[in-house]
Amino acid sequence: MSLATICVVGISGSLRKGSYNTALLRAAMELAPPEMSVEIVDLSPLPIFHPDREHPLPQSVVEFRARLTQADAVLIATPEYNASISSALKNAIDWASRPPQSPLNGKPVAIMGASTGLFGTLRAQLHLRQILVHVGALPLGKPEVLVARAEQAFDSNGRLADETARSFLRELLLALADWVRKVAPI
Ligand code: FNR
């Protein structure tokens, strides 16, 4: 088994300053196993995708795509907006999906999400999974990390306080490490 560090890029689909999804990624940084590092990439510099502005690619897009290319895996924390993913996340995936050499093609991806609703991003995650398969990414199947009623799961400092959610998140990160070793060994 390789002892090399598994470098994971974390993407929050929310641009909100106090985002629960960004907080979920911070929890992933804290709970990652020793052989894994998680770094969060900010989607806010990305412009709205525009097919007439792909040549040359905007610098922020070049940098975003490079971060994905360099990563061994991607961890996406998706909010749920109107029963689907946020426009910011779809926009980022659209930029990343473009040729040549989409950095998402063949990339192991784990997904999770937090919402204030009762379904905990279930519908958004189903859509996200479908989109990821379409762009050639390799989404991990289980465990599913769905944080419902997020305002109760995080404390006032934005720390994931819910022990059940923390345990599922730990399992997800271990499963992602195994998934990388299986489908895209370093
Ligand atoms: C929401 N929210 C929401 N929640 C949910 O569970 N299902 C939904 O369909 C929606 N729809 C929705 C649409 C829009 C436009 C907004 C702004 C919000 C509430 C959402 O879960 C809540 O705002 C979360 O806090 C968003 O995630 P972040 O920003 O905290 O990461």
Is the bond preceding residue 100 a cis peptide, omega within 30 degrees?
A: yes
Does any ligand 1 atom lie closer than 6 A to the CB of residue 80?
yes
Structural tokens at position 112: 């999770």
Q: Which atom of ligand 1 is closest in space to residue 120's alpha carbon?
A: 6
Instruction: Give the predicted TM-score (pTM) of the model.
Output: 0.97
Q: What is the largest CA-CA distance in the chain?
A: 47
Residues 162, 164, 170, CA angle at the centre, nearest 5°?
105
Q: Whose C-alpha lies nearest to ligand 1, atom 24?
A: 115
Describe the chain by its helix, strand, coil percentages, rounded to 5: 40, 20, 40
When mean pLDDT is compared across 1-5, 27-31, 135-139, 149-153, the lowest value belongs to 1-5
Q: Which atom of ligand 1 is closest in space to residue 16's alpha carbon?
A: 29
Helix (H) / strand (E) element for 148: namely none
Helix (H) / strand (E) element for 111: namely strand 108-114
Predicted confidence band of residue 79 (pLDDT cuts 50, 70, 90): very high
Q: What is the pLDDT of residue 4?
A: 78
Q: What is the pLDDT of residue 1?
A: 45
Cα(18)–Cα(140) distance, integer angstroms = 27
Percentage of the chain exceeding pLDDT 70: 98
Q: Whose C-alpha lies nearest to ligand 1, atom 13?
A: 81
What is the distance in A from the centroid of ligand 1 to the CA of 52? 31
pLDDT digits (tens, 9 = 90+) for 81-124: 999 999 999 999 999 999 999 999 999 999 999 999 999 999 99
